[in-house]
Amino acid sequence: MNVFEEAATGEEISGPPSQADYLLDRSFRGLATVCAWFIIIVVGLLLWEIGAKAVPAIGEYHLGFLTGTTWDVNKHTFGILPEIWGTLYSSILALAIGGFFGVSMAIFLTQDFLPARIALVFRTIVDLLAAIPSVVYGFWGIFVVVPFIRPIADWLNAELGWLPFFGTTLSGPGMLPAALVLAIMILPTIAAVSQDALRQVPYRIKEAAFGLGATRWEAILKVMLPTASTGIFGALVLGFGRALGETMALAMLVGNSNQLSLSLFSPGNTLAALLALNFPEAGEREVPVLMYAALVLLLITLAVNMIGTAIMTLTSTQMRAGK
């Protein structure tokens, strides 16, 4: 009894929220709602603006635009199949290379292979890769990567030229140098997000695996990776999204030639490079066509992200259900 009286008379530690608290809470909630809606509105506006400007081209070229292979401003013939192919092909190649190295690096840096201090140094260096401007990557690709892979490419073409992947000789710029540089560019994203995912797996799970007699690699490959798979998959989707939209380095390295080829050494083209290189001097006739191409790129990116999110949700519910 006495205790309650004391509590009531002294300085109140807890009590009903004051007017100011209500105000603060409501205005913060309001602000958060506005910010959330703002993002959706920006995406909507983007689609609306680009879509509206693309309407004349959509009306004129219909879906033939997606299957045409010629881009001739003078004759008003436009098609972006080689660009769609090049965008997806270069991104998938980059994802395969960058994903493998990125995830390996994340395992290496989080699974007690290195003393914590040295791991930090490695992590910082990988993160630094993200800070290098795209143009620098482009020049690095032209001056370092291309001369480096030329002898390998010539050998592969001479010995294994019957495989469609090595069917042409390397001219200089082409799919392979573009994909290699792209892989390095998406590496920091994949490595950083995968590391977070692996670090979020409770250490006890790994100890339990060891306790059951698992070796280090069994613990990593059969316990840690599957547990962190949702996060790692998210990292891959992010990296793929970044690869789809990368512009300047690709414009310098991919060769910008309307080729539809499986060959890794053939030049190609990507949607982002096409847009970046043609916009500055586009005339009245070309702008709607470029907007149409931009819309296609936007839809491809949205589709990739949505499919990625869908797969992630699906797998995480399955895991929670214990399947």
Partner 1 sequence: MLGVVLNVVGLVPASAEEKLRLTGSGASFPFPLYSAWFKNFSREHKNANIDYQAKGSGAGVLDFINHTVDFAASDAAMKPEEIAKVQGGAVLLPMTAGEIVIAYNLPGNPKELKLPRDVYPDIFLGKITKWNDARIQNANPGLKLPDMPVTVVRRADSSGTTFVLTSHLSAISPNWKNGPGAGTTVNWPSSDKFVAAPKNDGVTATIKQTPGAIGYIEYAYAMGAKVAMADLQNKAGQFVRPSAESGAAALASAQLPENLIAWVLDPEGEQSYPIATFTWMLFYQQNAAPEKAKILREMVEYGLTEGQKLSVKMGYIPLPENVVSAVRAAAKKIQ
Name the maximum alpha-carbon separation found in the chain. 95
Binding mask 237-276 for partner 1 (x = CB under 8 A): --------------xx--xxxxx-x-x-xxx-----x--x
Residue among 79, 86, 173, 241 that touches partner 1 (CB under 8 A): 173
CB of 28 or CB of 139, closer to partner 1: 139
Determine the interface stretch with partner 1 among 51-59, 91-99, 172-180, 208-216 (rule: CB under 8 A): 172-180
Least CB distance to partner 1 at residue 174 (A): 8
> Hey, how many other C-beta atoms are within 10 angstroms of the C-beta on 267?
23
- Structural element, H or E, at residue 72: strand 71-72
Residue among 33, 70, 200, 318 that touches partner 1 (CB under 8 A): 70
Burial tier of 278 (Cβ tally within 10 Å: 0-12, 13-18, 19+): middle
Q: Rounded to the nearest 10 degrees, what angle do helices 271-278 and 286-320 cross at?
A: 150
Query: According to the binding rule CB under 8 A, does residue 316 interact with partner 1?
Result: no
Determine the interface stretch with partner 1 among 68-76, 225-233, 290-298, 308-316 (rule: CB under 8 A): 68-76
Query: According to the binding rule CB under 8 A, does residue 25 interact with partner 1?
Result: no
CA distance readout (Å), 141 to 95, 205, 233, 241, 250: 17, 43, 28, 21, 9
Residue among 62, 75, 117, 323 that touches partner 1 (CB under 8 A): 75
Query: According to the binding rule CB under 8 A, does residue 117 interact with partner 1?
Result: no
DSSP-assigned states of every residue in 5-54: HHHHHS--SS-S--HHHHHHHHHHHHHHHHHHHHHHHHHHHHHHHHHHHH
CB of 169 or CB of 315, closer to partner 1: 169
- Burial call 202-226: b when 16+ CB within 10 Å, e when fewer: eeeebeebeeeebeeeebbeebbbe
Angle (CA) 303-105-312 rounded to 5° is: 30
CB of 45 or CB of 118, closer to partner 1: 45
Size of the site for partner 1 (CB under 8 A): 38
Interacting residue ranges for partner 1, rule: CB under 8 A: 70-75, 77, 139, 142-143, 146-147, 168-169, 171-174, 251-252, 255-259, 261, 263, 265-267, 273, 276-278, 280-283
